Amino acid sequence: MAFKNEYLAKVYEKVCARNPGESEFLQAVKEVLESFEPVVEKDKSYETNGIIDRIVEPERFIQFRVSWVDDNGNVQVNRGFRCQFNSAIGPYKGGLRLHPSVCASVIKFLGFEQIFKNSLTGLPMGGGKGGSDFDPKGKSDGEVMRFCQSFMTELSKHIGADTDVPAGDIGTGAREIGYMFGQYKRLRNEFTGVLTGKGLSYGGSLARTEATGYGLCYFTDEMMKCMKNESFNGKTVVISGSGNVAIYATQKATQLGGKVVALSDSNGYVYDKNGINLDVVKQIKEVERGRIKEYCDRVEGAEYHEGCKGIWTIPCDIALPCATQNELDGEAADTLIKNGVIAVAEGANMPSTPEAVEKFLDAGVMFGPAKAANAGGVATSGLEMSQNSERLSWTFEEVDAKLKNIMVNIFHNSYNASKEYGNEGNLVMGANIAGFLKVADAMKWQGVAY
């Protein structure tokens, strides 16, 4: 869709010229700006205050060398990033991705999305993201530790509990957060809530591990209930990925009465018509750091297929993409629609291509976009920050109840915004607008000279 609004067209053109070749970042910006057409048409102050011009440009983008020594004594060099995108409503907040595909474009798209997602949670958190092209796969614990320490040695100069609070993402789990926290404390001599997703013995929050997957299902459940009087009960569910988000989405979807029949990793997918046995998956992925293929050696009747895209050919009622960006394309969307999918909600960030999103919306499939549907992770990180500030820890039930409440509110705020701006039920538009309004208001009040 070309921009009808001249101001948005002009801003987008400038973003393209300034960020050549950054396809993921441009994809994310285009989708968000398209949603803003009715907003900037209705209120010219967004234009006169240069809100859109400013919101697409990171406040700060840090890139640095990360050198470390591998187990063979060889020097390795990776590239580290932190994108401090927007601090209008709170300290920068967002995860750290460790994956070979990490580059400026990926970090900027994730940081940009995080601005609106964090705003949707209702908690005071700005948007940021970081990471490195380091690949934790196949590395020893010692190598991961040395990398994390070297990474944090530079990152520590730019973050802080009231400045920027990183957390986990792909490739960054409890192990990596622990090593990074230890190094930050060593360097600063400060025990503060500078990272979230910490271990429970040193300031982590109960339910943070489960939060993104659980939150995704709470959101999806509310969406199905309110939009079509449906629920997980008795539904067949397909979930891509088999990492943190996928595992806890599987757990909650199952608790809510759904049957999860497939999971994947970057090599392939498993299909288990009897419903995934999550204890087996947890043993393989969380304890042994193995591959999803091994599931079939342990569970009778389960099938393994090479290649991760084929997972979308499995007939299902509910699809939850929980692996990575652009993993679900137009062709996959056609297949899901043909097979009768009723709801798609994004656990991963930007897993559906723009073609896929358009097809779901056109076909009347209920569609929960990432920045709304997967906000439970960062929301619970926000709750971890609160607990750290008051030096208390809440029970699992308290945190889980707050998470659920936040996800239900995110659905309704997104739905109501879609209605108010003339596209009822389009949660892509609704989430973008609902997230934007608070950030834009804060930016207006704070003036232009940052």
> Which residues are catalytically annotated?
129
Residue 242 or 251: the one with the smaller Cβ distance to ligand NDP is 242
Residue 35 or 349: the one with the smaller Cβ distance to ligand 2IT is 349
Indicate which of ligand NDP, ligand 2IT, none lies near residue 196 (CB less than 5 to 8 Å, by partner kind). ligand 2IT
Q: How far is the CB of 169 from ligand NDP (least distance, A)?
A: 5
Task: In whole angstroms, give the CA distance from residue 335 to residue 314.
Answer: 9
Residue position matching structure tokens 């108010």:
420
289 phi and psi angles, rounded to 5 deg:
50, 45
Q: How far is CA 227 from the centre of its chain?
A: 24
Residue 58 or 377: the one with the smaller Cβ distance to ligand NDP is 377
Q: Are strands 268-271 and 303-306 parallel, antiparallel or unpaired?
A: antiparallel
**In the chain, helix, strand, coil percent, each to 5?**
50, 15, 35
Q: How far is the CB of 380 from ligand NDP (least distance, A)?
A: 8
Residue 173 or 268: the one with the smaller Cβ distance to ligand 2IT is 173
Q: How far is the CB of 128 from ligand 2IT (least distance, A)?
A: 8
Give the pair of three-digit tokens for residue 195: 């990272």
Q: How far is the CB of 323 from ligand NDP (least distance, A)?
A: 4
Question: Do residues 93 and 164 lie in contact, with contact meaning Cβ atoms separated by under 8 Å?
Answer: yes
Indicate which of ligand 2IT, ligand NDP, none lies near residue 94 (CB less than 5 to 8 Å, by partner kind). ligand 2IT
Task: In whole angstroms, give the CA distance from residue 367 to residue 426.
Answer: 8
Question: Do residues 308 and 239 lie in contact, with contact meaning Cβ atoms separated by under 8 Å?
Answer: no
Three-state DSSP class for residue 417: helix
* Residue 346 DSSP code: -
Q: How far is the CB of 84 from ligand 2IT (least distance, A)?
A: 13
What kind and span of H or E run contains 344?
strand 343-345
Least Cα distance to 348 among 174, 148, 106 occurs for 106
Indicate which of ligand 2IT, ligand NDP, none lies near residue 215 (CB less than 5 to 8 Å, by partner kind). none
- Identify residue 109 by its one-letter amino acid code: F
Residue 277 or 393: the one with the smaller Cβ distance to ligand 2IT is 393
Q: How far is CA 441 from the centre of its chain?
A: 24
Question: Do residues 321 and 352 lie in contact, with contact meaning Cβ atoms separated by under 8 Å?
Answer: yes
Question: Do residues 328 and 209 lie in contact, with contact meaning Cβ atoms separated by under 8 Å?
Answer: no
The overall longest dimension of the chain from CA atoms, in Å, is 64
Indicate which of ligand NDP, ligand 2IT, none lies near residue 268 (CB less than 5 to 8 Å, by partner kind). none
Residue 39 or 348: the one with the smaller Cβ distance to ligand 2IT is 348
What are the residues binding ligand 2IT (CB under 6 A)? 93-95, 117, 167, 169, 196, 349, 377-378, 381
Adjacent-strand bridge partners of 269: 264, 305
What are the residues binding ligand NDP (CB under 6 A)? 99, 168-171, 212, 241-246, 265-267, 308, 322-324, 327, 347-349, 374, 377
Q: How far is the CB of 119 from ligand 2IT (least distance, A)?
A: 12
Residue 99 or 117: the one with the smaller Cβ distance to ligand 2IT is 117
Q: How far is the CB of 95 from ligand NDP (least distance, A)?
A: 6
Task: In whole angstroms, give the CA distance from residue 212 to residue 302.
Answer: 26
